[in-house]
Structure 1
Amino acid sequence: MSFRQAVGAATGAALLLLLAPTAHALDEALVPSTPADSAVPTVPAASADWVTVDAAGRLGSDGTVTLSGTYRCSAATGPVFVSSSLVQGDSNVRYGIGGTRAVCDGAEHRWANASRPASATFKAGDAHVEATLMELRPGFMGLPLPHTHAAGRQQVVLARG
């Protein structure tokens, strides 16, 4: 690699670092938000993408948590997933509960994620869930970059079964 190429690569990397917060801020501005305890997201008029969380989750006898809801996304250039996380009690720690591949065809679809976090023990009762509709778009040098289509939050009740 020549000196000129090295300087060009370094300049490009520095520019990316400077622009990353701006790109993140733009993405954040485009994310539909939901009230903390609402099952129905607040969707901007220009957006056709949303995700909801069902008000009830399941807690298996082995500790497996199953969460579900609905989503809609209209267009994507990369793979899209519905991820979910759960927090229970006064903890500030969120636990990821699975991930489901989403179909972005403009139609409403159901999603369900299940997982048994090794470092957490959940109990039947109230919990808080956040679901995110996340796309992995081709980015700098072919690396996938996350793009949030929508996020939904819901206070849920975990029930045995």
Structure 2
Amino acid sequence: MLVRPALAAALGAAALLCSAIGSAGADPFEAVTVDPAGRIASDGTVTLSGSYRCTPGTGPVFVSSSVSQGDPRVRHGIGGGAARCDGAEHRWTNSGKVSSEALTVGTAHVRASLMELRPSGIAPLPAFHAVTDRDVKLIQG
């Protein structure tokens, strides 16, 4: 079984849910931020970063990010990774490759989310600790 595609699919589904339900019920102590600049390489690899803070939960927590440019309905998932929820502030960095014509240097919109997969019967359910949206500058690099 390929774990990376399964994780990417789970994080993508969480990002879609995130856009639909927001961060209702999230603890105000918990937060995720996005740095004002991201990088885009000539091969289409985008790197985004920021910080997060969350309290312990019952399931694994992930930091995911997506970016759009031009049409806000077209979002590109830019990686995701495990988060450590211990109440302290931590840094996150996600990278992902998009087609070379999908994004360019300039202003883009980033959504970052801090999502927990909570055990619930047969399948875990997403619970959002924090979500943020920010316009950033994509720079060559």
TM above 0.5: yes
Matched-pair contact (CA < 8 Å) for 2:42–2:100: no
In the superposition, relative to structure 1, how do residues 74 and 59 fare at CA in structure 2: closer, same or farther (>3 Å)? same
Deviation sequence 1:71-130 (CA, Å, 0-9, x none): 000111110000001000134211110001100011000000000024862100000000
Normalised TM-score (structure 1): 0.70
- Structure 2 residue aligned with 1:81, among 62, 78, 94? 62
After the TM superposition, which residues 20-39 of structure 1 pair with which residues of structure 2 at under 5 Å, given as runs?
28-31=23-26
In the superposition, relative to structure 1, how do residues 89 and 137 fare at CA in structure 2: closer, same or farther (>3 Å)? same
Aligned pair count reads: 122
Shift of 1:48: 1.7
How many Å separate the matches in 1 of 2:98 and 2:51?
23
Identity between Structure 1 and Structure 2 (%): 56
Q: Which amino acid aligns with 1:54?
A: D
> Which residue number corresponds to residue 40 of structure 2?
59
- Structure 2 residue aligned with 1:157, among 112, 134, 137? 137
Normalised TM-score (structure 2): 0.80
> Which residue number corresponds to residue 144 of structure 1?
124
More strand by share: 2
> Which residue number corresponds to residue 91 of structure 2?
110
- Structure 1 residue aligned with 2:51, among 70, 81, 90? 70
Q: Secondary structure at the match of 1:65?
A: strand
Gapped regions of structure 1 (runs ≥ 5)? 1-23, 32-45
In the superposition, relative to structure 1, how do residues 120 and 149 fare at CA in structure 2: closer, same or farther (>3 Å)? farther
User: CA RMSD, aligned part only?
Assistant: 2.0
In the superposition, relative to structure 1, how do residues 120 and 147 fare at CA in structure 2: closer, same or farther (>3 Å)? farther
Structure with bigger gyration radius: 1
> Which residue number corresponds to residue 41 of structure 1?
none
Deviation sequence 1:51-81 (CA, Å, 0-9, x none): 0001100001211000000000011111000
